[in-house]
Structure 1
Amino acid sequence: MTWGDILRWRIERQFLGATRGPDLVAVARRLSGVHAQLAASAVTALHLRVAGGATAASVDEALWGSRTLVKTWAARGTLHLLPAADLPTWVAAMSTRTRETTGSWLRYHGVTAEQMADIIAAVPDVLGGEPLTREELAAAIIKATRHKDLREPLTQGFGAVLKPLAFRGLLCSGPPLGRNVTFVAPRQWLDEWDEVETERAIDTLALAYLGTYGPSTADEFSRWFDLKPALAKRSFARLADDLVELEGGVLPAGLAGEVAGKRPASVHLLPAFDPYVVGSLRQLDRVVSGDNKAKVSRPQGWISPALVVDGRIDGVWDGDTVTPFVPLARSIRSALARGFPEVGVAD
C-alpha cells in the first residue's frame, strides 16, 4: 500500500472517481460539510460530485426550499453547507468551543465577557424562524441587552461575534435578502431536535472525517475541526478498536481494505477551497508535487483552485490557465483538453 493508493482512495471516497453521490445531502454528509465561504466554489464542488450535477438554483432549493441543507459556521469556524439532519450532532461537538470566554478573544473583537453572555442569552428571544438581516439582528440584540456599543462588533463582516451563537445552535443562515445576508433560529427554521450527547457527537464526526480524509491523526482532526486537542485524543482512544493504523495515521477498519484497490486514472480541476484540498492541508507534503505548498495554501487563508491528478495536487489554475508543478504527460494534457477546452496549460 502506497501513499498514491491512499490519494486515489480519497478521490473515490469524495465522489470524484468512478461513482458520484446520489444527491446534495449525501455528498455534504460524506464530505463532512462543504466549505461555503465562496458560494460559487461550494456549488462547483457539489456539481463535480453529485450524479446529474448541481446548480446554484438546486443548492438554493435545498437550503431555502426543502431545507435539507443548512448553511452555518462549522468546521474551523468557517461557513459550511451541512445536512440539516446532522446539525444536532455538529452543535453538540461545536458547543465545546469556549474561545469567546477568553480575555484575548474578547479584547480583539471589542466585547466584554458580560456583553457576550448577554448576547447569547438574548438571541433565543429575538431570533426565530423569520429571517433577520445582520442590521436587524444587531438592533434587536441591542434593544434586548441595552448595550448600545455592540453595533460595530455585531455587524462586522466576518461575523466573529455571531459564530459562538452558531456553535450553540442558536443561529444559522437564512435566505439572502438582495445582497444582505440573513439569520434564523435553526430550531424554528428546521425542526426542534433532541440534544446529542457530546462524546457520541465527536466520535460520529471523527469517524466521518477519517472515512473521507484519512488516514489521519487526532491532532490533525483537532485542527481540521477546531476541536480541543484533548477531546480529539479521547475520541480516538474510544474508537481505537474500530480503527487501523496506516501510513499517516488511522482509518476506520471497515474501509482499510478498499485503499489498495485498482482505480482508473483521474484528472480534475477543483475550485478554490475545495474540500479535497482543505481536508489535506496538514498533509500537503504528501499531497502536493514538489515544493509548492505555498502556491496551494496561500496567505490570508486563501486555498487555490487545484489541478489534481490521481489524487495528487500537480498544479493550480486561475480560470483560464493551468500552471503545472510538474511536466504533464500527454494523456493528462489530452484529458484537460477534452474536459476543460476553455482552459489552457502554461508552458
Structure 2
Amino acid sequence: MTAELTAAQLRRARWHSLALSGESITTTPAVVDRLGALQGQDLPGVLISLAIRAKGTTVHDARRHFDDGTLVRGWPMRGTLHVLRAEDLLPMAAVTRKRVLGGMAGQARRLDISQSTISRVIDAVTDVLSVSEPVGRAELREIVVRAHGGEPAREVVSHLIYQLCTRGLICHGPFRGEQHLIVHTESWLGAHPASARVSNPDLDDFLAQMLKHYVTGHGPVSEADAARWFGLPLTTIREARLSLGEQLVTVLTPSGAQWMSTTAETERILSSLSRRPRVRLLPGFDEFMLGYADRSFAVPAHARDEIVPAKNGMFRSTVCSGASVVGTWSKGKLGEQLHVQPFAELSAHTKQGIHTAAQEIGRVTGKQVSVRLPH
C-alpha cells in the first residue's frame, strides 16, 4: 500500500530525512553520506549545517575532516559549491561537466576567451598546483594571471578559475586558519589514498547511487527536485531512478507522487510523523531551503520574499519550528547576539525553543551567543 502524506507530514518527513532531528548520526562524514552533498557557498554556514546534524560534534570536528582529506568543497553540480565525499568529486564532475560547460560557453565568447586560451591556462595552472602546497584564493588568482599573460580583466580571471572548478581540477581541501585552501584535486586525493578508493566508477551506476543518497537524505522528493538538485535533464534522472528499481518507493503528497528510499530509516521516519520537530536555527544555505525545486512546502506564501529579499541568490538564515519556517535570523555586529525577525507573533514554546537552538549554535561554534527577540 502506498503511503499518502499530508502537507504537514511532507514537511516533517523531509526534516527527518535531512537528519535535522539529530538522533542517529554521530560524524560529519556520515552526514554527507546521508545527504549525498550539501550546498557549500557559505563556508561558516555549511560547517554549522554539518555540525548540528551530527550528535555531539562541532565546527572544529567538521573542519578536521577537510584537513584529513575525507571531505572536500568543490563545484560538482550546477557550477555551485557543495561539500561532498572527496572520492565523489571527480565522478560527479564527469557526470555534470558537459551541461555546465555548455552553459558557460556564451560567457566565454562575451569575454573573448578562446578555447585555446582556456586549455593553455588549465594546463599551466594544474602543472603548478599539482606540485605546490595548498593555496588561498588570492594566490590562485595570481597563478591564473601569470598563466594567461598580460593584464586580464578580473572577470576573465574569474571565468578561467570557474573553468578549472567545473572540471573538478581544483577544489577546497584543508584549512589555514579561517581560510579554506585550494588544492589540485587529483594530487590531493593521491595524498589521501582512502579518499581515492573509487578511481574509475561506471558513471551511470555512480549517478544512480548518488540519486539514492539524495533521495535518502531529502525525501520525499519529486523527479523535478532531483533534476534541479543535480542540474541534469529529467530524462537522465528518470533513467537513473529506473536503474534503482525497488530501492526507491513512491509516496503520495499534495504535490504529487514523490520518492523515498526503501530502508528501515524511511519506515522509522514515516512512523514518527506525529511528533513535532524541535525548533532550530538553520544557516541561510541549508539543504532544507536549497534541496528542493520549490520552498513553498515550508515557507508561508506571504514570507517567501523574506528568505531571498534581494532575489540575488543570497539566502537568509531561517528560524524553523515544527519543520516550518517562522522567521529569519542574523548575527549582530560582534557575532555574539542573534537577531530574530519572526514573520508573525511567536508562541511561548517557539520562543523558548529559539533560545535552546541558539545555545546549540553556540556549542557547535564554540562561541557565547545570546538571542534578541522583538518586543
Tell whether 2:68 aligns with 1:58. Answer: no
1:261 maps to which residue? Answer: 271
**How far apart in 2 are the matches of 1:312 and 1:292?**
12
2:183 maps to which residue? Answer: 184
2:261 maps to which residue? Answer: 252
| Paired residues for 1:307-346 under 5 Å | 307-319=319-331, 320-340=338-358, 342-346=370-374
Q: Deviation per CA, 1:166-204: give whole Å up to 9, x if none.
A: 333321124466787643222211225511222112111
TM-score, scaled relative to structure 2: 0.79
1:125 maps to which residue? Answer: 127
Contact 1:28 1:82 in 2 (8 A): yes
Contact 1:129 1:186 in 2 (8 A): no
2:113 maps to which residue? Answer: 111
In the TM superposition, residue 26 of structure 1 has moved relative to its aligned partner by 0.8
How many residues are treated as equivalent by the alignment? Answer: 340
Match for 1:257: what amino acid?
A: E
| Paired residues for 1:271-310 under 5 Å | 271-280=283-292, 282-298=293-309, 299-310=311-322
Q: Which has the higher contact order (CA 8 A, sep 6+)?
A: 2
**How far apart in 1 are the matches of 2:353 and 2:164?**
46
Match for 1:184: what amino acid?
A: V
* SS of residue matched to 1:106: helix
Distance 1:185 1:230, change over 3 A: same
Q: Which moved more, 1:321-330 or 1:130-139?
A: 130-139
2:44 maps to which residue? Answer: 40
Contact 1:99 1:105 in 2 (8 A): no
Distance 1:15 1:213, change over 3 A: closer
Distance 1:228 1:53, change over 3 A: same
In the TM superposition, residue 128 of structure 1 has moved relative to its aligned partner by 0.7
**How far apart in 1 are the matches of 2:154 and 2:179?**
16
**How far apart in 1 are the matches of 2:281 and 2:141?**
40
Contact 1:268 1:309 in 2 (8 A): yes
Q: Deviation per CA, 1:119-151: give whole Å up to 9, x if none.
A: 34444433215224556555655666x654656
Tell whether 2:230 aligns with 1:230. Answer: no
Contact 1:72 1:80 in 2 (8 A): yes
Contact 1:88 1:196 in 2 (8 A): no
Contact 1:111 1:153 in 2 (8 A): no
Q: Which moved more, 1:90-99 or 1:294-303?
A: 90-99
* SS of residue matched to 2:249: strand
Match for 1:28: what amino acid?
A: V
TM-score, scaled relative to structure 1: 0.84
Stretches of structure 1 that go unaligned for 5 or more consecutive residues are none
Across the aligned residues of Structure 1 and Structure 2, the Cα RMSD in angstroms comes to 2.9
Contact 2:171 2:185 in 1 (8 A): yes
